[in-house]
Structure 1
Amino acid sequence: MPVWFTSDTHFGDRRALNIDRRPYPDLAAHDAGLIANWNARVAPDDTVWHLGDVALGPSDARIAEIVGTLNGVKHLIVGNNDGPGTLALRDWASVGHYVEIEVEGRRLVLCHYAFRTWNGMGRGALDLHGHSHGKLAPIPRQYDVGVDVHACAPVCLAEILVSRRRNKRAEPSP
């Protein structure tokens, strides 16, 4: 089964429209667009790691409705904007602040926040994070999986790794 990563969906959060300059005219279009993008990529049996900041603003019932419409077996890594209602949702297969997993033979360290150093860093482990909305300059083997970096949709590990190489090629030569 495919494994997907995302973060900082900020469903129902008006700030996401202004601060992060997302390509939606209003909050209803924002939420509908993120849901459509998620479900276009993720199948019902796929695994999804959401690295925090699911929603901010909607009622707990509305957050439950939104998360319930999202495909996949969903795991939550807690973000600074995830309230008790979000954490208590029955749709999460797991909820934690930090996890180390292996995907496609790669060790991954998952947290909402980017680390300066992390377990296994010197042995090739990758740090996947959110929180920075694409505004933090990465260090080697560190990747922001947030929707602001990845066209408002979850991404797989292969796409995450290619994104860095693509950005390097796009930089002008000295």
Structure 2
Amino acid sequence: MIFFTADTHFTDPRVLRLDKRPFPDLATHDAALVEAWNAAVGEDDEVWHLGDFARGGADHKTALLGRLHGRKHLVLGNNDDEATARASGWESVSAYREMELDGRKLVLCHYAFRTWNGSGKGALDLHGHSHGRLAPMTGQYDVGVDVFRFRPVTLPEILVSRRRRAKRDEISPKP
């Protein structure tokens, strides 16, 4: 199975304050994210992390990657330094990636695009960076942990999330 996530910000105290994540301290935050990741992802699954993985040195990040299930790929974010890119445990590191999954073309980047390769032909833009603060655009999905209960998600989960949001809006329209 293939999963997507972004903006874990392990070992980054700013997320508790800036993103108002519901954890009393950073150790609890990090432990909860590791637990949620490993509950969703199996050892043989593949995870595409779309940036802003963690703070700290390469050894710390390598140890953290070793605790997380799956074969992991990194698409670099604005907070991913050289130590993140060099950490042992990534199968690949890139700034941008395109792939096909379940017959859908996917464009993977840390940043949301206004338009992207194949956007007029059904390609989807998966991104992080915005921590769930951008208004949704057709074909564009924030896969960050702030949007998806602090865990990696599959493409079917990503697609159904928009349909669920639309259904909620039909039932209880915003004033």
TM-score range, shorter chain: over 0.9
The match for 1:32 is 31
Task: Give the secondary structure class of the aligned counterpart of 1:108.
Answer: strand
Q: How does 1:13-162 map to 2 (within 5 A)?
A: 13-56=12-55, 58-162=56-160
Task: Give the secondary structure class of the aligned counterpart of 1:16.
Answer: helix
Given residue 73 of structure 1, which amino acid in structure 2 is its aligned partner? R
Normalised to the residue count of structure 2, the TM-score between the two structures is 0.95
Q: Which runs of 4+ in 1 moved over 3 A?
A: none
Hey, what's the Cα distance between the residues in 2 that align with 1:67 and 1:24?
Answer: 21
Cα 1:102–1:120, aligned 2, differ >3 Å: closer, same or farther?
A: same
Hey, what's the Cα distance between the residues in 2 that align with 1:45 and 1:90?
Answer: 17
Given residue 49 of structure 2, which amino acid in structure 1 is its aligned partner? H
Aligned 8 A contact 2:50 2:109 in 1: yes
Deviations 1:66-107 (A, max 9, x none): 111111110000000001111012211110011110111111
C-alpha deviation, 1:59, in angstroms: 2.8
C-alpha deviation, 1:170, in angstroms: 1.1
Given residue 103 of structure 1, which amino acid in structure 2 is its aligned partner? L
Hey, what's the Cα distance between the residues in 2 that align with 1:111 and 1:71?
Answer: 22
C-alpha deviation, 1:28, in angstroms: 0.3
Hey, what's the Cα distance between the residues in 2 that align with 1:15 and 1:60?
Answer: 20
Given residue 153 of structure 1, which amino acid in structure 2 is its aligned partner? R
Hey, what's the Cα distance between the residues in 2 that align with 1:168 and 1:52?
Answer: 27
C-alpha deviation, 1:20, in angstroms: 1.1
C-alpha deviation, 1:173, in angstroms: 4.0
Given residue 6 of structure 2, which amino acid in structure 1 is its aligned partner? S
* Gap regions ≥5 residues in structure 2: none
Hey, what's the Cα distance between the residues in 2 that align with 1:103 and 1:165?
Answer: 19
In terms of mean alpha carbon deviation, does 19-28 or 127-136 score higher? 19-28
Hey, what's the Cα distance between the residues in 2 that align with 1:91 and 1:70?
Answer: 10
* Gap regions ≥5 residues in structure 1: none
The match for 2:3 is 4
Given residue 10 of structure 1, which amino acid in structure 2 is its aligned partner? H
Deviations 1:42-70 (A, max 9, x none): 011101000000012x2332121111111
Hey, what's the Cα distance between the residues in 1 that align with 2:5 and 2:31?
Answer: 16
Q: How many residue pairs were aligned?
A: 172
What percent of counterpart residues are identical?
A: 58
C-alpha deviation, 1:34, in angstroms: 0.4
Hey, what's the Cα distance between the residues in 2 that align with 1:89 and 1:173?
Answer: 46
RMSD between superposed Cα atoms in Å: 1.0
Given residue 168 of structure 1, which amino acid in structure 2 is its aligned partner? A
Task: Give the secondary structure class of the aligned counterpart of 2:77.
Answer: coil
